[in-house]
Amino acid sequence: MLIKRIRFAGILTAVVCDGLCNQCWGINSRPKNTDGKNAPAYPGTYEGGQGKPIQKENRLNKWCIRESERAVLANVELNVLHEFEFPK
């Protein structure tokens, strides 16, 4: 699991994701039927000038918040990001 603090729409938030970007199509570009292949690297959608992250160091950006079907946004202002425990 990946967790990153990011400012989105003026609010400090936490984004949580499984990091499987190759399986993320993006909500607005996801086809109705997929044949099980990996999602495209460049789906053609952007948020705040940021596209789908291609490089690992760019993961969890504004595109992930708006488009990713694999990310979850904590929509509260956080001062400290606590460690989360995820089931294995």
Give the length of the chain: 88
**Residue 62 within a domain:** yes
Residue 11 lies in a domain: yes
If we measure between CA atoms, which residue out of 6, 8, 21, 3 comes closest to residue 70?
21
Q: Which domain holds residue 34?
A: 2-74
Q: What is the pLDDT along the chain (88 residues), one digit of tens a residue?
A: 888 888 877 877 888 899 899 889 999 888 777 676 788 899 999 988 999 998 888 899 889 988 998 998 775 554 444 555 545 5
Angle (nearest 5°) at CA 50 between 66 and 34: 55
DSSP state letters, 62-80: HHHHHH-SSEEEE-S--SS
- Tell me if 80 is assigned to some domain: no
Domain count, the chain: 1
84 inside domain: no
